[in-house]
Amino acid sequence: MPKWPDDDVILFDGVCIFCSRWVRFVAARDTARRFRFTPIQSDYGTRLAKAFGIDPDDPDTNALIHGGEAFLKSDAALTVLSHLPGWGWVRVLFAVSRPLRNAVYDLVARNRYRIFGKYDACFVPDSDLRARVLE
């Protein structure tokens, strides 16, 4: 996989209500303001997605750029959570096999619009979160 120059960037589906809630969840707990966010629908997000083989028109995963490398699916979610204060315990979930973790991830990802809904356009974050969004 290629390297990416920016670090601790979370790529997410900006029209997915569940994904946007994930961003707000992370931002609210990320007291060190370590993570930045980019919707896949933005120019920056589209370039990032294409660099790591994610279809920007039909995203099936969020991604985390950490240490210059991309983490996808359950690896991305668990890596993000494990860096939030009080959430280090989730590292034990890495002991669960990746195929099993990703099967659960894929089930949610496939049904996220049907279960949680979809925005007509990318969600607009509040001003505090806006400062952490790369477009």
Closest CA to 3 of 52, 59, 53, 54: 52
Mean pLDDT of 95-119: 93
Distances in Å between the alpha carbon of 45 and those of 9, 16, 116? 10, 14, 22
Q: What was the pLDDT predicted at 30?
A: 96
Percent of the chain with pLDDT over 90: 59
Q: What was the pLDDT predicted at 60?
A: 81
- Model confidence pLDDT, tens digit, residues 22-60: 999 999 999 999 999 999 999 999 999 998 888 888 888
Q: What was the pLDDT predicted at 1?
A: 55
- Among 48-62, 63-77, 93-107, the range scoring the smallest mean pLDDT is 48-62
Instruction: Provide the residue ranges of all domains of the chain, joining segments of one domain with +.
Output: 9-123
CA angle 52, 53, 57 (to 5 degrees): 115
The torsion region of residue 133 among left (phi > 0), alpha (psi -120 to 50) and beta comes to beta
Q: What was the pLDDT predicted at 100?
A: 97
